[in-house]
Amino acid sequence: MLAPKDRTLLLESLRPPPGFHLDAAVSTTYSLDLMALLVAPLAFTFFDWEGDDGQPTKDPNALLEALRRHVDRIHVFCQAGQIVVPKTYRLLFGYLESSVHEVRAVRDGGVFHPKVWIVRYVDDGEPPQYRLLCASRNLTFDRSWDTLLVLDGVVGKGATKKNEPLSRFIRSLQEMAVQELTDNTKNTLAELASELGYVEFQLPEHIEDIEFWPIGLPGEQDVWPFPDSADQGLVIAPFVAKSTLSRLNISGEQTLVSRVDELEAINPDQIGDYEIFALSEGADIEQEEGAEPDGGSDTASLLSGLHAKLFAFDDSGIGRVWTGSANATNAAFHQNVEFLVEMRGQSKHMGVEAILCPQQKGISVLRDLLEPFSPDVEGGADSTQQALENLLLRLRRFVVDLELVVHAEKSEENLFDIRLSSTKHPDLPDAEFDLQCWPLTLRQEAGAQRLTSDGGWSSSFSSVSFEGLTTFFAFEGRVSVNGRSGACRFVLNLPSQGFPENRRQRLLRYMLKDQQQLMRYLFLLLGEEGALSLSEISGSSRYAGTGNGGFHADIPMLEALVKALERAPEKIDQVAHLVTDLQNTEEGRALLPEQFEQIWRPLWEAREELSRRGG
């Protein structure tokens, strides 16, 4: 159990079962990387098209098609103010705006911290299948040691009370949302929460029972899922607090695994008789932006190495393991929204005994990554740095609590004036600060404006192009404490007014820049999986138009369409959706070659006739 070489990619875990396709997905995360969300739909569409490193392709055509097929079925809930500012902007981010929902914990000082996926797959004539992913990692590209539990289930005929906490967790998301959710999202949450009550999850090998533990939901009391006593105990967490560790010290043999900097801030004499370990230097992995603190540190304090959260207790031969988002801190069990899954089985297969099994020749075990912790000379906490991080957190929350709205007004043809304005008046942070903001479509150096207060907080941007319209706005706040300065940078997904209604269709035209790229995209839709590589599509003149963007009648488009109609008629449906989107705008109609209509119309009529016959 927890063999270091037994690794699983998140996107691999989202691949639909054979013959099934995505119907709906709900994801929860503390921090969110928009690029990570951008490639997530590839798991449901182009999973086999990946690079040599096993990572999903970032080819814009593949990303675009995956988004067009699935983005309206994916609903991501993240902590408000914890969307990471991307290094570069992509027009494709415009497709994500309706899928990202920022939420707040209901308890003062708490954060929304669960890392869960609930996915519903469907196939004609078969009962829906569900997949639950309970992770310790956010929806980012973090490189760290994490845990991921995958449970598959099928909708049965009878209800099960065991899933009621899971249904309750899904229902609560609407109550914690900063903005009013769309009807599509509300209906998805309601349907999933209701149907989850009938899902029969298959238990992995050696697990005899499971239990779901949502923590910190609106209107609910504190949850402490752990027993009062045990023979052995194990705590693995990157963030720890001595009061919580003392409460978890319920056995004669207690083991703690954490980060070196966290361990150095704790007096071992104050937490009981823990045997304490940290990751060895050889196991340490440099962390990337987007890692989360537990109760107040700014995201600039990046993690390294350990990010897994796991609690285990053995008692009388029975092992119990909890995995998920909760750290061993007061915030996790008294302020935050968290999610854990408890698993039970024989301790020789799971639990402390199995996780901390002795090192074995030729077999990778967790102990291979650990080394006993030896505290350095006591240096004491950096009070100035702690004060700085707390102030940055308050500034971040202040901006969220302004509940800003984006107003767009057309000034000239394809140009808009944008204004941000606050709708709430929260208390100011008790320090001087500077706030900048800019549409994520603009570079900070060229487009950032100060967010100022004059009867209300606001900022304005003039002559923004159509493709520059976005509900994603980046913010940068700067403060100083005792001569030391610090900054926080984050993105908010803001409600909008005055945006063109057909913006998504027009964005499609901007991304398919000419007829040549349109033809490549069409071949991407029609190509047989594994038979046509992305490099061939993007590089070969055989799949393109003429050099000036025209359309050759001798291009094998007819052959590709006929083959798709015969072997995979659903691909013709995907082409039809693309053609319809393009025909909805003047720019899109101009992109379609005249000769294409001569080829397309008879094929689409044949597809419609096939559908009427049940094919």
Structure-block tokens of residue 473: 């706005």
Q: Is the pLDDT of residue 234 over 50?
A: yes
Q: Which residue has the higher pLDDT, 241 or 49?
A: 241
Q: What's the pLDDT at 395?
A: 95
- Contact by Cβ (8 Å): 424, 514: no
Average the pLDDT over 458-471 and give the result. 95
Q: Which of 24-28, 481-485, 517-521, 548-552 has the lowest mean pLDDT?
A: 548-552
Q: Is the pLDDT of residue 435 over 90?
A: yes
Q: Is the pLDDT of residue 342 over 90?
A: yes
Q: What's the pLDDT at 302?
A: 40
Q: What's the pLDDT at 442?
A: 94
Average the pLDDT over 304-308 and give the result. 79
pLDDT, tens digit, 9 for 90 and up, residues 573-588: 888 988 888 888 888 8
What is the rounded CA–CA span in Å between residue 258 and residue 276?
8
Q: What's the pLDDT at 547?
A: 41
Burial readout 173-185 (b: 16 or more C-beta within 10 A, e: otherwise): bbebbbeebeeeb
Average the pLDDT over 101-128 and give the result. 95
- Contact by Cβ (8 Å): 512, 591: yes
pLDDT, tens digit, 9 for 90 and up, residues 322-336: 999 999 999 999 999
Among 3.40.50.720, 3.40.50.1970, 3.30.870.10, 3.40.1350.10, what is the CATH number of 10-209? 3.30.870.10
CA distances from 55 to 12, 142, 232 (A): 10, 13, 39
Q: What's the pLDDT at 301?
A: 39
Q: What's the pLDDT at 282?
A: 62
Under DSSP, the state recorded for 281 is G
pLDDT, tens digit, 9 for 90 and up, residues 285-295: 443 334 444 54
Q: What's the pLDDT at 358?
A: 67
CA distances from 351 to 4, 255, 298, 356, 599 (A): 16, 12, 33, 8, 63
| Helix or strand holding residue 69 (H, E) | helix 60-70
Tell if the pTM clears 0.85, that is, is over it: yes
Q: Nearest CA to 134 among 358, 388, 324?
A: 324
pLDDT band at 548 (very low <50, low <70, confident <90, very high): very low
As a whole number, the mean pLDDT across the chain is 85
Among 3.30.565, 3.30.870, 1.20.58, 1.10.3470, what is the CATH number of 232-382? 3.30.870
Give residue limits of the domains in the chain. Answer: 10-209, 232-382, 384-500, 512-612
pLDDT, tens digit, 9 for 90 and up, residues 239-281: 999 999 999 998 889 999 999 888 888 877 777 789 999 988 7
Q: What's the pLDDT at 377?
A: 56
Domains 10-209 and 232-382 share a fold: yes
pLDDT, tens digit, 9 for 90 and up, residues 343-356: 999 998 888 988 88
AA identity, residue 16: P
| Count of C-beta atoms within a 10 Å radius of residue 260 | 18
384-500: CATH topology: Immunoglobulin-like (2.60.40)
Tokens 């920022």 belong to residue: 102
Q: What's the pLDDT at 490?
A: 98
Q: Is the pLDDT of residue 599 over 60?
A: yes
- Contact by Cβ (8 Å): 80, 106: no
Q: What's the pLDDT at 322?
A: 98
Backbone angles phi, psi at 104, to 5 degrees: -130, 145
pLDDT, tens digit, 9 for 90 and up, residues 127-137: 999 999 999 99
What is the rounded CA–CA span in Å between residue 494 and residue 478?
21
Q: What's the pLDDT at 299?
A: 39
Average the pLDDT over 96-117 and give the result. 96
pLDDT, tens digit, 9 for 90 and up, residues 206-233: 999 999 999 999 999 999 999 999 999 9
In the chain, % of residues over pLDDT 70? 85
What residues have CB less than 8 Å from 238, skipping those under 6 apart? Answer: 258, 259, 262, 294, 303, 306, 307, 308, 309, 327
